[in-house]
Amino acid sequence: MKAGRWQSRIVARDGTREGRRSMTVEDDGGIRIARVEVTVYRAPVETPVVNAFGTMTDRPAVIVKVIDRDGAQGFGEAWSNFPTCGAEHRARLIETFLGPLLLEQAFRSPAHAYRHLSGRAHRLALQAAEPGPLAQAIAGLDIALSDLAARRAGRPLWAWLPPEAPARAADDGSGTRAFMPAYASGINPGGAVEQAVGAWDAGFRAFKLKIGFGSERDLANLAALREMLGMEVPIAVDANQAWDLDEAVRMSEALAEHAPHWLEEPLAVDRPDEEWLRLTPASPVPLAGGENLRGRAAFDHAIRLGALRVLQPDVAKWGGLSGCIGVARAALAAGRRYCPHYLGGGIGLLASAHLLAAVGGDGMLEVDSNPNPLREGLAAPFPTLQDGRFVLGDAPGLGVEPDPEVERFAVLRLAV
């Protein structure tokens, strides 16, 4: 099952390397939202998703739908994995606070609405000590507004987002497609080899293993994956903030024998700069992180610090598309890799894929390899995976919407 590296094509519709001008929502008079709907889904799973700080015994999703005064609609997703009661809380934040703000006025663009919501939520976030949940709810609304705007413009979201680099796309004879190298994420410490075999058979050609469960178990799992896949296949490892500095140094050196593609979140995100700067030269493995950073200033600081070679903002956790596109561009401009983090339902996954396609670079798309009916069910028709690449079509916006069949998992419906 050994395989070599793959290449992605980076060309525009006409085969050149020139970027494409993107229509903005300002071109047709702005956005006026008439209704906001938010639905919480919970899908039971047989095999829990395990990481170093917790276990998911079901798969939640908070899906936002915005409808403008002409009846056009867009879909978004807000991060809601932890704590276990978090999905309903994010939905209530949208119903009671953020949704009414969105109905107050017209907006020139999704970015304009994002700035308005973020500004209005700032003092509440301080008062309630809840900047994270509010940022996640705003991110879901921003994704929905961007989807709506791209649908109105009649363009796929990856082509509608203003590019500063050519989209990773090509015309395959049946329309323009964007091809995103993808990796199978969420490989659990129990049954890692079996899960990776299933992901390989599904078409993945890169992988990420969960670690942080003790050095013996971590190293044995990585060695087993290397034995099965060979040394050329990218295998990243994710510690989920499990270690202190001394253990991170020891483990990075021990892991290096098996050539991890990157080492993700070896330290807690709030550890002092000096710890990250001590770990960086000591680690033979490139460091990655960003899913738990919040705010453009935090990402700019991380880029300047230089410890992270791979930047991983999560569009459903902070920033949506309006915030994360600037982070992605800044990361690429600084010579870092942009590989969006994602672990949730299908709408957020598609938003991550479209943003990666729009900004270019050599990053990979994170696709959870654990069973989750809310991944395919919330994003129909679900894109195909071809030889390790996630294929986006040229349908307007995200090009997907929830399948009616997934409604059996809905546990809460709210509207503004």
| pLDDT bracket for residue 175 (50, 70, 90) | low
Candidates 3.30.390.10, 3.20.20.220, 3.40.50.300, 3.30.300.30; correct CATH number of 25-155?
A: 3.30.390.10
- What is the per-residue pLDDT for 17? 32
Closest CA to 298 of 278, 266, 282, 276: 276
**DSSP symbols for 264-287:** E--S-TTS-HHHHHHHHHH-SS-E
Mean pLDDT, the chain, as a whole number? 91
- Overall average pLDDT of the 210-217 stretch: 97
User: Does the structural domain 160-403 have CATH classification 3.20.20.120?
Assistant: yes
Least confident of 27-41, 211-225, 363-377: 27-41
Query: pLDDT at residue 24 above 50?
Result: no
Query: pLDDT at residue 22 above 80?
Result: no
Domain-wise residue ranges, the chain? 25-155, 160-403
Query: pLDDT at residue 207 above 90?
Result: yes
Half-sphere exposure (Cβ direction) of 304: Cα atoms closer than 13 Å: 7
| pLDDT bracket for residue 251 (50, 70, 90) | very high
Does the pTM of the predicted model rise above 0.85?
Answer: yes
- What is the per-residue pLDDT for 57? 85
pLDDT digits (tens, 9 = 90+) for 27-63: 445 899 999 999 999 999 887 777 666 778 899 999 9
Q: Are strands 33-51 and 410-415 parallel, antiparallel or unpaired?
A: antiparallel
pLDDT digits (tens, 9 = 90+) for 386-415: 889 999 999 999 999 999 999 999 999 999
CA–CA separation, 411 and 282 (whole Å): 48
